Each structure stands twice: as structure tokens, then as C-alpha cells.
Amino acid sequence: MKYNLEKTLLTMLLIILSFAWAAPSKAVIFPRPLEGISEVRIVIDKLPPDALTVNITEKALKDTILTLLNRNLPKLKLTDSAPVDLNVSLALIRATSRTGSYLGYYSHLLVKLVDYVRVPYPSVEAPEFYRFAKALLWERGVLFGGSSEDAWGQLENILTETMERFATDYCYDNPGCRKGE
């Protein structure tokens, strides 16, 4: 019994050490995924019906994002014909008790930058044929909740933090992205 326990422990130790000394992969798919992006299109997904009950509208979301991007990244162009999408999704649920009294809301904000890339589609009839696929370049999601009186203020604060994080990551990949740099 003692021999089997020692053999098992030694085997486990060798396995653990082999993982610890394994060389990390040198392959890097996207070393700087935001590098070279000069324009984006803002796409707001359809808002849930409960969003209107807490005074959150698509126009308010888009205007806030436009303001934040213009302030944080003035060199980044915002156009409707841009090949890269800044996609904003908001899920929001109003919470009520079994008796119907309002308890607050719970929400998830997801902001992601999506590019469309050409993917070769091997075909005997048309070897030069390509399909387009979405490539996720950047993403940030935040869960939050609270009372309906504070919903828009809380969402605006989270959008500000999210867009500041995006600007930081964008400027890391694109040095000199802000005015005066």
C-alpha cells in the first residue's frame, strides 16, 4: 500500500512539474488587435422593453457613447460606413416580488469591437471565393443593478468607465492616438 502511494505521489509530482516547465507558446494571433483601426461605426442592439421604463433610450446611449469617444479619442472617426463595429448590447430586467412590488432592476452591458474578415472558402468551382466572418477585437461586459431612479446615472458611469478602458487599450495599440501626443 505504501509503495502504491509513493508511486502515485511521484507520478503526480512529475506531471505537475512537466506542466510548470513547459515553454509557453510563441504563437501570437493578434499582438495588437486595435492597431490601425481609424474609424468605427456605433451599433446599438435593440433595447429590451424594460429599458424604457427606467428612461434608457437608444438615442441617449448613442449620444453618450459619441460624446465619450469624441472626448477620449478625437482622432478616431465615427462613421456609418466604417468597416469595424462598436457594438453595444444592454440586457435589463425589472425585478418584482411575488406580490408585484417593485424591487429594482438587474442589467448587463456588453460593449465589443467587431471587425469583418475575409475567410477563404475552398471550392473546386471558385477557388478565389471568400466568405466574411466576424472577428472579436475587444470586449467588456459589466453586470449591475439598483433602483429605477438611479438606472440612467449608473449606466452612464459604467459607459464612461468602459469607454475610458477602450480608449486606454486603443492608445496602447495606436501610440499618439490622442491630441497632443
Asked if residue 152 has pLDDT above 80, the reply is yes
pLDDT of 180 above 60? no
With respect to residue 22, please indicate whether it lies within any of the assigned structural domains. Answer: no
Q: Residues 6 or more apart from 132 whose CB is under 8 A from it? A: 116, 117, 118, 119
105 domain-assigned: yes
CB atoms under 10 Å from CB of 27, counted, come to: 5
Three-state secondary-structure class, residue 49 = helix
Q: Per the domain annotation, does 154 fall within a domain?
A: yes
Q: Could you tell me the residue range of the domain that residue 153 belongs to?
A: 39-173
Retrieve residue 161's grid coordinates: 468607465
| Residue 105 near residue 143, CB atoms below 8 Å | no
State pLDDT tens for residues 120-145.
777 666 666 777 788 899 999 999 98
Q: What domain count does the chain have?
A: 1
Q: Sheet holding 102-120: strands in order across?
A: 77-78, 39-44, 84-96, 102-120, 130-146
Residue 133 counted as domain residue: yes
What are the tens digits of pLDDT across the range 80-119? 999 999 999 999 988 888 888 888 888 999 999 999 887 7
| Nearest-angstrom CA–CA distance, 44 and 55 | 16
> Mean pLDDT across the chain, nearest whole number?
82
Task: Please report how many Cα atoms fall inside a 13 Å half-sphere around the Cα of residue 26, on the Cβ side.
Answer: 0
Asked if the structure places residue 76 within a domain, the reply is yes
43 and 58 Cβ atoms separated by less than 8 Å: no
Is residue 138 in a domain? yes
Instruction: State how far the Cα of 96 lies from the Cα of 165, in Å rounded to an integer.
Output: 33
In a domain, 113, yes or no: yes
Check which CATH number belongs to the domain holding 162 and give it. 3.30.160
Distance from C-alpha of 138 to C-alpha of 62, rounded to nearest angstrom: 18
> Global pTM?
0.74
**Residue % of the chain over a pLDDT of 90:** 44
Q: How far apart are CA 73 and CA 137, in angstroms?
A: 17
Residue whose grid cell is 446599438: 44
CB-based contacts of 59, cutoff 8 Å, min separation 6: none
Answer whether residue 32 is part of any domain.
Answer: no
Per-residue pLDDT reduced to its tens digit, 68-91: 999 999 999 999 999 999 999 999
C-alpha grid cell, residue 31: 499582438
